[in-house]
């Protein structure tokens, strides 16, 4: 979907649908459905600030999410997805496995194509509950 000719409200509604699809696909272990949501040269930072946790391009992103899914991660959008007058939404997430839970805020920037261009997960060790 090219988002250039739609209203801001329509863009934000589309972005909210995409992040809901993203959370559902990760939780279902559907690797290819997750990767399809990303632009070819997208960047994932999880968490932001850890230089060793940056993944650029679909190959690195696929490998990152394969690891996430191997750990049985389940994602739940834990509050309102907030839009902006730009191309980004803020998503409060609760990420859980069988052994821990993580609360984070992810900033998701979209390309004009409607695909995710940058996914930045903001969390630290104090956000993990064992």
What residues act catalytically? Answer: 22, 46
Q: Are 128 and 101 in contact (CB under 8 A)?
A: yes
Q: Who's near 13: CB < 8 A, 6+ residues apart?
A: none
Say how far apart CA 62 and CA 58 lie, in whole Å.
Answer: 6
> Around Cβ 88, how many Cβ atoms within 10 Å?
17
Q: Are 19 and 10 in contact (CB under 8 A)?
A: no
Of 127, 81, 69, 74, nearest to 108 by C-alpha is 81
End-to-end CA distance of the chain: 40
């Amino acid at each position: 979907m090219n988002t250039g000719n739609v209203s801001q409200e329509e863009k934000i509604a589309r972005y909210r649908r995409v992040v809901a699809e993203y959370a559902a696909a990760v939780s279902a272990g559907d690797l290819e459905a997750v990767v399809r949501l990303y632009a070819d040269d997208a960047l994932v930072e999880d968490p932001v600030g850890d230089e060793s946790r940056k993944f650029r391009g679909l190959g690195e992103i696929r490998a990152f999410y394969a690891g996430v899914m191997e750990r049985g991660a389940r994602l739940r959008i834990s509050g309102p997805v907030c839009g902006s007058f730009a191309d980004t939404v803020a998503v409060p997430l609760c990420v859980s496995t069988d052994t821990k839970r993580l609360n984070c805020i992810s900033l998701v920037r979209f390309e004009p194509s409607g695909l995710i261009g940058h996914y930045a997960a903001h969390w630290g060790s104090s956000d993990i509950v064992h």
